[in-house]
Amino acid sequence: MFVVGLPGLADAGRIAARLLIDFVNAKLFAEYYSSRFPDNVVIEDSGVCRLPRYEFYESCSCQPNIVVLSGDGTIAEEEPEAHYEVFNQIVNFALRLKSRCIVALDGIRPVAEEKNMVCGAATKRGLAHKLESCGAKLFKKNQLPGYSGMILGLSSLHGIDGLGILSTTPSLMPDRDAALNIFKFLVKALDVKQVKA
């Protein structure tokens, strides 16, 4: 399983990905840099500078085996061609790793007073039904912008199963509650279990 949680609304997807990395004790194995990321540097707590990047973590100490993509690289909304380029490379990398399913984690705006409601979308009807049976509210006749929408669209195009697990959040600031909702739903719906090494 290949899980993607990147900077997005209220940072919910990226925080959820970090929770998953810790839960399955995943280890960093690759980094991704792109000229499509902003022309700035990230300054670590130690004062050391580095370029924005995506990071790939893997864990074999869980079932199913998981690769998690997270990081701090962002792509401007007004550059759709950059989204296609970068996320097509990500989906192709997941295919090279023989991933059977890509899961996009993200935050979305609530339609009404639906704070921290888990919503879902999928590339196949059976997958959508699975999300719904686990308690997610399905997106219907809607659009899913940003990296989570691109990941699902490109997964479908490349013939790989795709799931979107999102939490509503009204916040513009990092929303740990929304991220925790995503993480808990992911672990339950996909039956992620820790195994002893």
Per residue of the chain (197 residues), what is the pLDDT tens digit?
A: 999 999 999 999 999 999 999 999 999 999 999 999 999 999 999 999 999 999 999 998 888 899 999 999 999 888 889 999 999 999 999 999 999 999 999 999 887 667 779 999 999 999 999 999 999 999 887 888 889 999 999 999 999 999 999 999 988 899 999 999 999 999 999 999 887 65
Residue written as token pair 């899961």: 103
Tokens in use for 64?
Answer: 């199913």
Q: Please tell me the distance from the alpha carbon of residue 23 to that of residue 194, in angstroms, as a whole number.
A: 8
Q: Please tell me the distance from the alpha carbon of residue 183 to that of residue 165, in angstroms, as a whole number.
A: 9
Q: Please tell me the distance from the alpha carbon of residue 123 to that of residue 184, in angstroms, as a whole number.
A: 21
Instruction: State pTM to two decimals.
Output: 0.94
At 65, the amino acid letter reads N
CA angle 136, 96, 129 (to 5 degrees): 20
Q: What is the DSSP string of 60-83?
A: SSEES-EEEEEES----TT-HHHH
